[in-house]
Amino acid sequence: MAKTASPRRKPAGRDRAAAGERIVKLARQIVGVVHEREDPFVDIPARTLSNVQFNEKRGIIELLDGKQRRSFFSLLGRRKGEGSQAKKFMQTLRVAEVCKRLIGADDSTSIRDLFYNLKVPIKSPDGKAKELVFYEQNESDPIIEDIEVTVNALREELGVHAENKGNMVGPMTITDNGDRIDLTAVGSGGWGVPSIVEPDVIQFVRHKAKFVLLIEKAAVWTRFNKDRFWEKHECLIIHGGGQPPRGVRRLVYRMHNELKLPVYVLVDNDPWGYYIYSVIKQGSINLAFESQRMAIPAARFIGMSSYDADRFAIPPHVPMPLTDEDRRRAREIREYPWFQRKEWQREIKHMEALGVKLELEALSNKRFSFITEEYLPKKLAAKQWLD
Amino acid sequence: MAKTASPRRKPAGRDRAAAGERIVKLARQIVGVVHEREDPFVDIPARTLSNVQFNEKRGIIELLDGKQRRSFFSLLGRRKGEGSQAKKFMQTLRVAEVCKRLIGADDSTSIRDLFYNLKVPIKSPDGKAKELVFYEQNESDPIIEDIEVTVNALREELGVHAENKGNMVGPMTITDNGDRIDLTAVGSGGWGVPSIVEPDVIQFVRHKAKFVLLIEKAAVWTRFNKDRFWEKHECLIIHGGGQPPRGVRRLVYRMHNELKLPVYVLVDNDPWGYYIYSVIKQGSINLAFESQRMAIPAARFIGMSSYDADRFAIPPHVPMPLTDEDRRRAREIREYPWFQRKEWQREIKHMEALGVKLELEALSNKRFSFITEEYLPKKLAAKQWLD
């Protein structure tokens, strides 16, 4: 099947009412088919590797227009071990129904709560059905993603949230759910980044920031906050406790696009650090649909680079050797289309050649504030980043 | 060896200068022994199961007075596979040295940063030693605990922090590192609880709270915040993202002891939920030393109880079956001395007899706000808790 890229979608914040209308429209189409005494179906954009491409011009991973039909009158699964289309059709409509209900109530819930809300017997004419709509959360999670791509809405618009993780401080005042918060006065703990940060919840009131620094680890962020890096360098510092959750990614995306702030990403020098950066920059294969409202193609990799140990004279006994798993992952990552530029090939191959990884905390071998007082200021001044 | 409980230590906040002085005193003792041309040593309170007891009267797990001697002139390890006493003696002093440095600089750092700071060659007379003080973090972490018990200081006093995780909101104003924060106006994300919450960092300015509600999960806390439970019920709501980190435990301890607020703990009804509650209440075996400044013997278990499914008419298809691992853990937990009261035996055995577990999110089977609007208000009104 020939594939073209999906038309570019509106990159604005969430419009829950519009998403709700698209759910109703989907339901009306299905009812229409039923009235025509035909087999009702839902066409769901395929979230498969073959339906994903890296758009070099836009710099993001995007979904193509391949679709999978889910028919009511089919007891066959699409893949071995998968439930019948009839069952998945029913599940899809039940999840859509809950999302519509959440939108109507201006409410939101977690994916686990949503699962339990639908751990109920299937409706049957005689009311005696014993089978449940869902038995396990790993059945309902992918259906939520199906609804997202089918009605073209982020799950935050539907009212389904992921975990809340991450903190932010810096020279900016926001409102969060009506509360005005000065992010220069939120203490050592910082403001907790919620899982839903769409414009109807979080508004940027004013700021004096020159850039956003996204730090991989909470403990390293604590050091940057303690040393008031955000004050000296007029920036917002944010972390997501490892792989940043959706709330952190969306917030950084919004600050980049709405406030025109450059974004620097600071991660461990290991394959997992490169990967975290790449998800922030291009999006991920699993959630290619969301790249256009999550990915930040202009995000800069400020470190740690595999050249930093040498640049900053880190003694050779400090880095840790790459494990077999690290080496396997490094090979995978350097095959990704978005790491094909020669600077990136050089960066990754240099790590492999050295055979070691360098964590952010390794800079504490010099002294605890080396990272905030020397390492990062020097990297920024020398424009030693990759994009 | 006959054992008596350690004398009760001062339960006040951190006094870093005093902890620093105790490190210096320890070093002076060692130097004194050296001057007498004897074998220098450190006596470290033993953190072994046999040196721990549950003090029924105080309701906490506490360390007894058993000690282990670490001698400089011994190349033998205490256990098979353990490093020599000479090596551990050296490591102990190096970690103590870093802690003293942190105290002197009024600084703090993470356990991983501390490890990297000491991933350095051993000092040797000819300066040619190749061996490192530490190779892996799992060597340095226990030494930090050794220093804690030896100089009788919490690691927060030494300046070593764990992860920061958890959020809080409610009718209280605090200062955090000098910033005044009104916890009724911190939005949907809430204030991020830092890893160090000692009185020199966090002060309670004023409050109108009647109790503290500690919730196991971030997503459930989000529901309580969204429904403004803290406003309707005049309480502080806090979560620690699963097993609460030290910062959350210490903060709840301080609110309980300094503000005289009752503490209610809301966890999943499974063995892991019981365990989370028991750590908050009595402390843990691993960190028995810290119980006296972390444990809250009067903390109340408000739910979920194994009787709640019946009390709240949760349909039988909603709970999940106990796994073999759950059953094994349940048996272990009901053998703990602190779960011997008949109400607790009844509670745990009832879960085992039902053969199911009930997560907090399972209440969403009724409706998403059932937990905040019906479940918890009813439990509190009926005083349906265990202590």
For B360, name the nearest residue in chain A, comparing CA atoms only. Answer: A113
The pLDDT tens digits for A283-316 are: 988 788 888 889 999 999 999 999 999 999 999 9
Distance CA A44, CA A149 (A): 7
Can you name the residues that pair with A110 across neighbouring β-strands? A161
Q: What is the pLDDT of residue A123?
A: 83
pLDDT at A14 over 70: no
A107/B188 CB distance under 8 A: no
The pLDDT tens digits for A182-204 are: 999 999 999 999 999 999 899 99
The pLDDT tens digits for A96-155 are: 999 999 999 999 999 999 999 999 999 888 877 789 999 999 999 999 999 999 999 999
Q: What is the pLDDT of residue A166?
A: 94
Distance CA B289, CA B155 (A): 11
Q: What is the pLDDT of residue B141?
A: 94
Per-residue confidence at B242, pLDDT binned at 50, 70, 90?
A: very high
Query: Would you say the C-alpha torsion A193, A195, A201, A204 has a positive or negative sign?
Result: positive
| 3-state SS, residue A148 | helix
Q: B233 is written with which tokens?
A: 């019920």
Where does chain B hold its CATH 3.40.1360.10 domain(s)? 167-381
pTM of the model as a whole: 0.91
The pLDDT tens digits for B362-377 are: 999 999 999 999 999 9
Per-residue confidence at A9, pLDDT binned at 50, 70, 90?
A: very low
Closest by CA to A268, choosing from B97, B112, B308, is: B112
- The residue of A101, A128, A176, A368 whose CB has the most chain B CBs within 10 angstroms, and thus the best one to mutate to test that interface, is A368
Q: Which of residues 6-65 of B touch A (CB under 8 A)?
A: none
Q: What is the pLDDT of residue A3?
A: 44
Write out chain B residues lying below 8 Å of A188, CB-based.
176-177, 194, 196, 201
Q: Where are the alpha helices (DSSP H) in chain B?
A: 16-35, 85-104, 111-117, 137-150, 155-158, 218-226, 229-232, 246-258, 271-282, 291-294, 308-311, 324-335, 342-354, 370, 376-381
Distance CA B242, CA B133 (A): 34
B203 touches chain A (CB under 8 A): no
Q: What is the mean pLDDT of residues B283-312?
A: 93
ipTM reported for the complex, 2 dp = 0.89
Distance CA B111, CA B113 (A): 6
The answer to whether the beta carbons of residues B233 and A119 sit under 8 Å apart is: no
Pick the CATH number of A167-381 from 3.40.640.10, 1.20.1630.10, 3.40.50.300, 3.40.1360.10: 3.40.1360.10
Q: A221 is written with which tokens?
A: 């962020």
Q: Which of residues 80-139 of B touch A (CB under 8 A)?
A: 102, 107-110, 112-117, 119-121, 132
% of chain A surpassing 70 pLDDT: 95
What end-to-end distance do the CA atoms of chain A give, in Å? 34
Closest by CA to A153, choosing from A163, A143, A145, A142, is: A145
Where does chain B hold its CATH 1.10.10.10 domain(s)? 16-161
- The residue of B222, B224, B227 whose CB has the most chain A CBs within 10 angstroms, and thus the best one to mutate to test that interface, is B222
The pLDDT tens digits for A16-60 are: 899 999 999 999 999 999 999 999 999 999 888 889 999 999 999
Interface A-B, measured as beta-carbon pairs within 8 A, has a size of: 177
pLDDT at B361 over 50: yes
The answer to whether the beta carbons of residues B203 and B254 sit under 8 Å apart is: no
The answer to whether the beta carbons of residues A355 and A326 sit under 8 Å apart is: no
Provide the angle, in degrees to the nearest 10, between the axes of the packed helices B85-104 and B16-35: 140
Per-residue confidence at B4, pLDDT binned at 50, 70, 90?
A: very low
Per-residue confidence at B197, pLDDT binned at 50, 70, 90?
A: very high
Closest by CA to A149, choosing from A292, A295, A2, A3, is: A292
Per-residue confidence at B78, pLDDT binned at 50, 70, 90?
A: low
Q: What is the pLDDT of residue A78?
A: 67
Per-residue confidence at B281, pLDDT binned at 50, 70, 90?
A: very high
The pLDDT tens digits for B260-278 are: 999 999 999 999 999 999 9
B108/A226 CB distance under 8 A: yes
Distance CA A21, CA A29 (A): 12
The pLDDT tens digits for A306-348 are: 999 999 999 999 999 999 999 999 999 999 988 999 999 999 9
Distance CA A71, CA A243 (A): 36
Phi, psi of B259 (to 5 degrees): -100, 0
A34, containing H or E segment: helix A16-35
Phi, psi of B149 (to 5 degrees): -75, -30
The answer to whether the beta carbons of residues A92 and A329 sit under 8 Å apart is: no
CATH code reported for the domain at B16-161:
1.10.10.10
- Please report, for residues A276, A357, B59, B115, the alpha-carbon distance to residue A323 in angstroms, rounded to integers and kept in the order given: 18, 9, 46, 19
Burial annotation A155-190 (CB, 10 A radius, 16+ → b, else e): bbbbbbbebbbbbbbbbbbbebbeeebebebbbbbb
Per-residue confidence at B13, pLDDT binned at 50, 70, 90?
A: very low
The amino acid at residue B213 is L
% of chain A surpassing 90 pLDDT: 80
The pLDDT tens digits for A210-260 are: 999 999 999 999 999 999 999 999 999 999 999 999 999 999 999 999 999
Stretch among A44-48, B10-14, B46-50 having the lowest mean pLDDT: B10-14
Q: What is the mean pLDDT of residues B66-74?
A: 88
- Please tell me the distance in Å from A46's CA to the nearest CA on chain B: 29
Per-residue confidence at B75, pLDDT binned at 50, 70, 90?
A: confident
Q: How buried is A124 (Cβ within 10 angstroms: 0-12 exposed, 13-18 middle, 19+ buried)?
A: exposed
Known catalytic membership, residue A116: yes
User: Could you say which of A107, A132, A195 has the minimum Cβ distance to residue B368?
Assistant: A107
